Structure 1
Amino acid sequence: MRYGRATALAGATVLVAALTACGGGDDDGGDGDAGKTLNVLISANTQYPEEFQAWQKSISDKFKAQTGAEVKFETFASANDELTKIQTSVVSGSGPDVYAVGTTFTPTAYSTGAFVKLGDDEWKKIGGKEKFVPATLGISGPDEQNQVGVPWVSRPFVMAYNTELLKAAGIDKPAATWDELTAQAKQLTTGDQYGLAIAYKDNFDPWKFVWGMSIQAGDPLVDGKTAKLQDPAVQKAYQTYFGWLTNDKVVDPAAIGWTNPQAVAAFAKGKTGYFALTTATAINSLDQGAVKGKWAFTLLPTVPPGATSRPGNGVEAASILSGDNLLVADYSKNKDLAFEYVKLVTDQDQQLDYYKKFGNLPANAAALQSLQSDPKLAPLTEAAKKSVATPFTGAWADIQLALTNVVVQSLPDLAKGPIPAATLDTRIADAQKKAQSSLDRAK
């Protein structure tokens, strides 16, 4: 599977020339790096902002001690910001030296041709491909010979549930299907207690529900060069997702305005049965809340809404293949420094330190192995094994934004009640049009 240099980015048809003109040679490394600055783009951490700032300073200090060079971090706060930064930097041929991008954005980044392809020399610089958990390499590129993404952290998605509330409601085990989850959430909803915590306003969460439910029902959303967002499974997914709030009333109405950290905080207060989309990053928050000692992780349901078992063409997708990859810009004049940074933050000690601070699972194989004795991580390990990669197409970033935009457009309506089927159909049709247009550009 191959992709053209500018297939995913509108207006980027002259990337090859731009990158050739603007790209510089590698630095020499060593003493010549004193006084240089390496620019790194990374997602903002709104859940632990002060700790994240302290981590950036710590890494910068370690990097300076090793190389003599400074690290300057730049952050993005949403998927739109992430895509815009890639677009503008690629077209201009200048910008960050290293990008920490979500795994689902790696295909879009790859399609630009603007990032260093990882050959034997590049992998050797950072400690070898065997340094990493094999599954985390699953979306580094379209195949093993064409990889641009170095796994940094892994974030398989799971649910958190309140063990005390489930027991009090007579629920013996967590839900394994989406319909069971809805039914249990109804049992758990009473007074000021709710069955589910959902982050409807989050920049990254909504599309993952729709993708998971749809692929479990047999619709991959992308079939070759065809978008399938108007499949009935997609409509059913949105109806289920919105219905928890508007029909089933198992979600706090305030959730219309919640981002993921706000949903974590709500669950941590101990008055919610399930937090339906989270990762190990929530551990610190949960252990500092009223729910401490009363929560556990479990797999997200793997049977689509309206069914008691997966159809024959359904996929047991417990999570997207999720995490962050590190990419080195081909235009960078500091490629050697960039790979020294990548090596530093993917080494075992730094990976374990990052996990302890923020809960992101290591992509470093030795670091992850050292955590295997922690029983609360078992569902995360299982989710990682049952994770499914999103389609490796340069159009995917646009597609996930289109899926999220259906929710963004619907937020004002949710406070009024159920969204009319015709309205939802119109919004999905618009998402389909945008998805297909992006796929057509990516051919």
Structure 2
Amino acid sequence: MRSRTIEAVAAFALFAIGTVACGKSGNDAPSSPSPSASSAPAAPEPASVTLTYWASNQAPSVEDDEKVLQPELDKFEKQTGIKVKFEVIPWSDLLNRILGATTSGKGPDVLNIGNSWSASLQATGALLPFDDATLARIGGKDRFIPASMSATGAPGQPPASVPLYGLAYGLFYNKRLFADAGVEKPPSTWAELIAVAKKLTDPQSGRYGLAIMGASYSENAHFAFMFGRQHGASIFDGKQPRFDDPQMVSGVKQYIDLLGVHKVVNPSNAEYVNDTQILKDFAAGKAGMLMIQSYAAAAIEQNGLARDAYGVAPVPLPDPLPANGKRVNSHVAGINIAVFEDSKNRDAALRFVEFMTSPEEQRILSAAFNSLPVVTAAYADERFNTENIQVFQKVLAETAESMPMIEETAQFETLVGTAMRDLLAEAASGKAVDDAAIRAKLTKAKQQMASGK
């Protein structure tokens, strides 16, 4: 297993640098270990067990995450006698930390991963497969939301992880700015989105219709996937990249044009690597709308915009859809929880996964982190019956599509997302970015993937 891990990680690591914002995103993958390795009862463990847990940064700050998690881990220890030593790792560091652990074999017992990494990390062989027997030990597959379970690993193989926090994209909008501009309801089509954004844009006062994270390669790649699907694109044919197909060019242009053609995005947004500034701009009334995942609500409110001062709607779709276009306005976003294959505390680790994905903990954690519960039973809680949460639930259930669950998806995110970062920078400088310019960048990204450079 270790040699397989090193080979797979070496390929994956070529593209695994920078920030991945899954939570704040193969048929010939190596076969999983035999059922006896993953589902056989673990040997009895010492009475005193301490698990190590790498948690992802879900709250506006690492300190906020710690305040949420510590009482729940104390509760788990009281119930089971199992201690959990945890570390909240920022998204800018998490993937590289995981890759280092997969090669060294010195990883935590339990860890969070961006769900779009599932197939890529699965191919390393470093994560415990959740075969039917292992799933049964944590409560069974059927208790999870089907959409969230679609982003847990390569098709035809036991999942490499299980869902922990569900997320989906939505359109946040400032109700006061809408009212001041005479806009009575959120846009439901892409043409309406552009029209509303133009009404809200006033460069002289520093206000724009939309704010984006133009230098975040992962965020860019999410929109390339979503808008590409709206135009009928398939980013892979099997495992062969189709980044520069006309449909993908059109999808990417739909996003780039927000800044370059329609000028409803502040050019400075081309430099934003994370969400910190756009959330501040939205809360301060400098941006009328945001297309962002559901977790953003907490930070928006921490930045001073009251919960009743903004609304949420689905990200608008083109109307009519282009030929062969799909009604996709979010990828199946979220964070999964996994167990390291090398864990010496496998039984305790699985008990912890069962605890974290239990209906009670899903209600507590999802409410604290503004995520969507990933188990059906948690939705009985009235906290998840608000209008905004119901928008995200509907998107996740009906118009979200999983990123391709193949090893190469991580390469797509890095290469295409970086190409879009460069295109947005060109648009921000005043350079025209047309179909030919976009196609050239996407062709280069495809060639880079083919060459492994």
After TM superposition, the score normalised by the length of structure 2 is: 0.83
Q: Name the SS of the counterpart of 1:336 in structure 2.
A: helix
1:117 is displaced (CA, Å) by: 1.7
1:69 lines up with 2:83 in the alignment? yes
1:329 lines up with 2:340 in the alignment? yes
Q: In structure 1, what is the equivalent of residue 287 of structure 2? A: 272
Q: In structure 1, what is the equivalent of residue 9 of structure 2? A: 9
Taking the TM superposition and a 5 Å limit, the aligned residue runs for 1:320-399 are: 320-371=331-382, 372-385=384-397, 386-399=399-412
Residue 260 of structure 2 is aligned with which of 234, 246, 257?
246
Q: In structure 1, what is the equivalent of residue 419 of structure 2? A: 406
Q: 1:273-300, CA deviations, whole angstroms, 9 ceiling, x for partnerless residues?
A: 2112231x22233345235422111111
Q: In structure 1, what is the equivalent of residue 211 of structure 2? A: 197
1:206 lines up with 2:217 in the alignment? no
Residue 238 of structure 2 is aligned with which of 213, 224, 232?
224
Residue 312 of structure 2 is aligned with which of 277, 287, 297?
297
Q: 1:320-345, CA deviations, whole angstroms, 9 ceiling, x for partnerless residues?
A: 01111111121211111211221121
1:102 lines up with 2:114 in the alignment? yes
C-alpha distance in 2 between matches for 1:223 and 1:180: 33
C-alpha distance in 2 between matches for 1:90 and 1:37: 20
RMSD in angstroms over aligned alpha carbons?
A: 3.1
* Equivalent AA in structure 2 for residue 269 of structure 1: A
C-alpha distance in 1 between matches for 2:157 and 2:133: 13
* Equivalent AA in structure 2 for residue 104 of structure 1: S
C-alpha distance in 1 between matches for 2:239 and 2:132: 32
C-alpha distance in 1 between matches for 2:54 and 2:359: 22
- Indicate conservation of the 8 Å contact 2:120/2:408, yes or no: yes
Taking the TM superposition and a 5 Å limit, the aligned residue runs for 1:22-101 are: 28=43, 32-34=46-48, 36-45=49-58, 47-65=60-78, 66-73=80-87, 75-78=89-92, 81-101=93-113
1:28 is displaced (CA, Å) by: 4.4
Structure 1 unmatched ranges of 5 or more: none
* Equivalent AA in structure 2 for residue 352 of structure 1: R
- Indicate conservation of the 8 Å contact 1:188/1:194, yes or no: yes
C-alpha distance in 2 between matches for 1:42 and 1:90: 16
C-alpha distance in 1 between matches for 2:121 and 2:231: 29
Q: 1:301-322, CA deviations, whole angstroms, 9 ceiling, x for partnerless residues?
A: 222xxxx311341111121011
1:152 lines up with 2:167 in the alignment? no
Residue 137 of structure 2 is aligned with which of 115, 125, 128?
125
- Indicate conservation of the 8 Å contact 2:229/2:251, yes or no: no
1:89 is displaced (CA, Å) by: 2.4
- Indicate conservation of the 8 Å contact 1:41/1:100, yes or no: yes
Q: Name the SS of the counterpart of 1:40 in structure 2.
A: strand
C-alpha distance in 2 between matches for 1:301 and 1:396: 25
Q: In structure 1, what is the equivalent of residue 25 of structure 2? A: none
Structure 2 unmatched ranges of 5 or more: 13-28
C-alpha distance in 1 between matches for 2:59 and 2:424: 21
- Indicate conservation of the 8 Å contact 1:215/1:314, yes or no: yes
- Indicate conservation of the 8 Å contact 1:99/1:326, yes or no: yes
C-alpha distance in 1 between matches for 2:433 and 2:135: 52
C-alpha distance in 2 between matches for 1:268 and 1:245: 20
Q: Name the SS of the counterpart of 2:85 in structure 1.
A: strand
* Equivalent AA in structure 1 for residue 115 of structure 2: T
Taking the TM superposition and a 5 Å limit, the aligned residue runs for 1:146-185 are: 146-185=158-197
- Indicate conservation of the 8 Å contact 1:242/1:418, yes or no: no
Q: 1:151-203, CA deviations, whole angstroms, 9 ceiling, x for partnerless residues?
A: 11100111111223223323343223333322221111123322112122335
* Equivalent AA in structure 2 for residue 220 of structure 1: S
1:10 is displaced (CA, Å) by: 2.7
- Indicate conservation of the 8 Å contact 1:319/1:383, yes or no: yes
Check 1:161–1:335 CA distance in 2 against 1; reply closer, same or farther (3 A cut).
same
Equivalenced residue count is 422
Check 1:405–1:150 CA distance in 2 against 1; reply closer, same or farther (3 A cut).
same
After TM superposition, the score normalised by the length of structure 1 is: 0.85
Check 1:82–1:420 CA distance in 2 against 1; reply closer, same or farther (3 A cut).
same
Q: 1:246-298, CA deviations, whole angstroms, 9 ceiling, x for partnerless residues?
A: 3322123332333223212211123432112231x222333452354221111
1:9 is displaced (CA, Å) by: 3.1
C-alpha distance in 2 between matches for 1:170 and 1:46: 34
Check 1:106–1:317 CA distance in 2 against 1; reply closer, same or farther (3 A cut).
same
1:115 is displaced (CA, Å) by: 1.8
C-alpha distance in 2 between matches for 1:358 and 1:240: 31
1:231 is displaced (CA, Å) by: 1.6
Q: 1:56-88, CA deviations, whole angstroms, 9 ceiling, x for partnerless residues?
A: 33243233332333323251423xx44433433
Q: 1:395-421, CA deviations, whole angstroms, 9 ceiling, x for partnerless residues?
A: 111111112211344465454223544
- Indicate conservation of the 8 Å contact 2:118/2:151, yes or no: yes
Check 1:6–1:226 CA distance in 2 against 1; reply closer, same or farther (3 A cut).
farther
The more displaced of 246-255 and 151-160 is 246-255
Q: Name the SS of the counterpart of 1:430 in structure 2.
A: helix
The more displaced of 157-166 and 57-66 is 57-66
* Equivalent AA in structure 2 for residue 300 of structure 1: V
- Indicate conservation of the 8 Å contact 2:221/2:416, yes or no: yes
C-alpha distance in 2 between matches for 1:384 and 1:11: 31
Residue 313 of structure 1 is aligned with which of 324, 327, 332?
324
- Indicate conservation of the 8 Å contact 2:155/2:405, yes or no: no
